[in-house]
Structure 1
Amino acid sequence: MRLLSWNVRGLGSLVKRRRVGEVIRKHRFDMALLQESKLKELIPSMVAGMWYSDGFEFSFSPSVGASGGILAIWEGDRFVLESVEIERHFVMLHGRWKHEDMVCCFMVVYAPCEVSEQEGLWLRLVTAIDSYSGPWCVVGDFNAVLRPSERAGCSSLSRGMTSFVSFVNDACLIDFPLRGKL
């Protein structure tokens, strides 16, 4: 299973969609979970231009103003969607990987910047995660960090960090320290 999670910082321009498409086609991802599309509307031809086959499927949560927007794209002959939940700050996909015969959930998150809004989102996400006992993959731009060392110039835990740490622990998530650029 090849999975891409990327804060694309806007998909409104053809140049940006072409660049995202180049990366997706080069690596032939099974699923791409894109945050911050900044798109209020999405037409299938825009998705088709970024994907490498005609067998793609997708789910979309529009932006509010110039903020947010989530796009999940997957290869339909690899992942069979059984249900989807779309909210402003996340898209949750429940389905089956055909070749592995594995049922799982994917959640792609684009969290708000305000701590009070994040705290409400963390509670909502924990509830969603608790509703399904199978394997999960939660990715996205959380607009929060777990440790002061992850933010330049920060030396102590803030309320936002404490809240995010609680979310990760309450949801029994594992933080994989992924780094690098495509």
Structure 2
Amino acid sequence: MKWLFWNVRGMNKRYKQKEIKLLLQNKVSLAGLVETRVKSNNVRSVLQGIAPGWKALHNYDDSPNGRIWLIWDDNWYEVKKITNSAQMLHFQVNERSKGYQLSLNVVYGLNTVEQRKSLWKEMETLAKGITQPWLIVGDFNAIMSDKDRLAGVPVTNNEIKDLGECVREMGVNELQWTGNYYT
């Protein structure tokens, strides 16, 4: 079983749906997708095209563009949405075969520092009530250090301050990874 997180930058195009479907066929059973750009009336047909028989939860109630989706194979997972906002979905995930449970957040931060302040407050509030393993994935549209920017304008303290404070307040750590840093 594999999990996938992907900033898809639009799933309305057939070629994007084919890419996602190919990735999901590689033993992926749960996926967080952000920047979907799918209208709410097209959710069912797009989901059927990329992951037939899977279930989905999203944030159309808080964001008309449904910026965040979680899709999963119900044979492997039981998923319950706990809370949602324009920038975050929070779930309880139960793996069916081994019985483990975890909290899962899929995040897609808004574009400006000011718009993201509500996300940091939401995350800090959530952290106070979480007592089990917690996985937070997403595109925060924020960085924690200057090494997180590949090119462009030099990083300022204001850009990294809020996310860094939030991470410290929540008491979470960035997971180690292998492979290319920006993939």
Shorter chain as denominator, the TM-score bin is 0.7 to 0.9
Count of residue pairs the alignment pairs up: 178
Structure 1: state its 5+ residue gaps: none
Q: Which residue in 2 is equivalent to 1:75?
A: 73
1:21 and 2:26 matched: no
Q: Within 5 A, what are the aligned runs for 1:5-154?
A: 5-25=5-25, 27-41=26-40, 42-51=42-51, 54=53, 56-62=54-60, 64=63, 69-151=67-149, 152-153=151-152
RMSD of aligned C-alpha atoms?
2.3
Shift of residue 21 of structure 1? 1.1
Shift of residue 163 of structure 1? 0.7
User: For the residues of structure 2 that align with 1:117 and 1:36, how far apart are their CA atoms?
Assistant: 16
User: For the residues of structure 2 that align with 1:84 and 1:50, how far apart are their CA atoms?
Assistant: 25
Contact 2:88 2:119 in 1 (8 A): no
Contact 2:57 2:81 in 1 (8 A): no
Contact 1:149 1:155 in 2 (8 A): no
TM-score by length of 1: 0.86
Amino acid at match of 2:144: L
TM-score by length of 2: 0.86
Shift of residue 43 of structure 1? 2.7
Shift of residue 64 of structure 1? 4.7
Contact 1:40 1:64 in 2 (8 A): no
Identity %, equivalent residues:
21
Contact 2:81 2:89 in 1 (8 A): no
User: For the residues of structure 2 that align with 1:165 and 1:115, how far apart are their CA atoms?
Assistant: 13
Q: Which residue in 1 is equivalent to 2:163?
A: 164
SS at 2:69's partner residue? strand
Shift of residue 129 of structure 1? 2.7
SS at 1:132's partner residue? coil
Structure 2: state its 5+ residue gaps: none
